Structure 1
């Protein structure tokens, strides 16, 4: 889709060169090759492909070509409880901005509504700053939601006052481990997005060949400061994720130790009766209890005692108590 975002008008598809006349923001959303070719014809600039936008080198993400500034970064999109990362590209020219994306982002939709809802004109530089501000605000919202999710996850991990049912402990710990892993993945993806946004903010602010106005430069500085604060929050989130991961693995280790205790008890109480039965099952003529009237019952009682006494000892030690 190739659309133009016009002040005071709904977004309109761009089919010919005339559709883009006087438009400050041109938007390519999951474009076809024909739409990319039309955008290249209208702007006179090379249109980066998805493979170009997914490059990780700084020199491939931030550079100038002719009079246009090429910028790209991965952005996180959260949909309900799921998320994924998709690249976004900006081609900032003297008179307009071209964006290239392959999925919808709420921050882009928000700025599109803002522009179409007013008759005030915007330059390409102003649109780019608006988009950066909206993206950073969206990253902050995602981090706030992630922080709340980790608070809930922390309470679930450390529910020490609730008994753990032996049959459900394994499944519960598996679920907690998956939740911790997903939280860690999201925090890592947000960090990558913030790193890309920070590089863009610095590159645009310090680019002498494409100077921003003083007002826009101040707003870009605010964006950079917000990104720094969000990076600090991500670091805190990452530390908490690591702490919850260690705690969950610790509880898994405890459950495994409890299982080993049961195996130890079963093995121990099986050895002594087997030993007694083996001794009195030997066919030696001079076994003292061989002709004893109560020898049979004595051997059974001895085997029972070798089972009961260790069980009582393990119970006293707390090995047979229900785990919590």
Structure 2
């Protein structure tokens, strides 16, 4: 889908696109392409004199993700995409070309939806293609901050569950807790990757010196927000590691309790087993062999020999 945007009453609104000439209209400042088909890809390549290569877009080298050529300034940035199956980072390609911004992506992203809503509702929210690009990045950083707040809230719930002394965690509850922590670690890692890549793109854009002074100030403000969010992701990683260590400690404690029970049971039943083994021998000269009370005596002796170590362990507080 290919959508062009221009200004109507100082608000960013979509304008009809029927041919290549429509994309070059003076009032068009942003062309947004979502999952372009072959016709749309050919149209964009012809109008903007570029080659759309999906493999190059996914490269992680600085030279492949941010560069300048005859077509303009290219920025390939990660954006966080959350869906019902989890979260992922998807690449969005930007091109600043003669006062126009081209964005190409394969997913409908929350940051773009939020930006379009603000640009449609607020007067003079953006005025140039550079404003559009900076505002999209700014909204994406805000979205990442909201996601991190959600990660912290979920980790706080896990923390209360793990550190509650009065709660008894079953094996199933522990397995769910480990899965929850792992999911939050994965999401926090994707947010951190998104923030680091965004900082790289904005730093490159700043070095290109195509922005006005007020735009550079706005960009530096976004970079400061990125730095604070990066520090927050580091804090969340520490919290995740602590909770994972705490859960693994609880699992080890439960396993140790089970092993302890087996160990004590083995010690308790060892003396009766020894007595039973002695009286189970078939020697003819055994003193109690012909004794009428020999059998009950052996049973009582085995019971007492089992109670004695149990009482000793109980007194020591090992049970």
* The two structures share one fold, judged by TM-score above 0.5: yes
Q: 1:39 aligns with which of 44, 54, 58?
A: 44
- Structure 2 vs 1, CA of residues 259 and 12 (structure 1 numbering), >3 Å: closer, same or farther? farther
**Structure 1 residues 115-124 or 126-135, which shifts more?**
115-124
Structure 2 gap ranges (5+): none
CA 1:267 to 1:7, structure 2 compared with 1: closer, same or farther past 3 Å? farther
Match of 2:284 in 1: 285
Partner in structure 2 of residue 103 of structure 1: 107
Q: How many pairs does the alignment contain? A: 313
The whole-number CA distance in structure 2 between the counterparts of 1:312 and 1:6 is 86
In structure 2, the CA distance between the partners of 1:29 and 1:13, relative to structure 1 (3 Å rule), is farther
Report the counterpart of residue 201 of structure 1 in structure 2: 202
Distance in 1, matches of 2:244 and 2:63, equals 36
**Within 5 A, what are the aligned runs for 1:38-187?**
38-49=43-54, 51-79=55-83, 82-117=86-121, 120=124, 122-162=127-167, 164=168, 169-187=170-188
- TM-score normalised by the chain length of structure 1: 0.89
SS across alignment from 2:232: helix
For 2:310 and 2:40, locate their aligned partners in 1 and report how far apart those are by CA, in whole Å: 78
Runs of 5+ unmatched residues, structure 1: none
| Mapping of residues 16-31 of structure 1, within 5 Å | 16-20=19-23, 21=25, 22-31=27-36
Q: Normalization by structure 2: what TM-score?
A: 0.91
Q: Is the 8 A contact 1:111 1:130 kept in 2?
A: yes
Greater mean deviation of Cα atoms: 266-275 or 215-224: 266-275
Q: Which structure's relative contact order is higher, taking Cα pairs within 8 Å and 6+ residues apart?
A: 1
User: CA–CA distance in 1 between the matches of 2:177 and 2:104?
Assistant: 38
What is the distance in 2 between the residues matched to 1:42 and 1:150?
48
Deviation at 1:273, TM superposition (A): 2.1
Distance in structure 2 (CA, Å) of the matches to 1:229 and 1:214: 23
Deviates most, 130-139 or 29-38 = 29-38
SS of the residue 1:73 aligns to:
strand
The aligned counterpart of 1:306 is 305
Cα shift at 1:182: 1.1
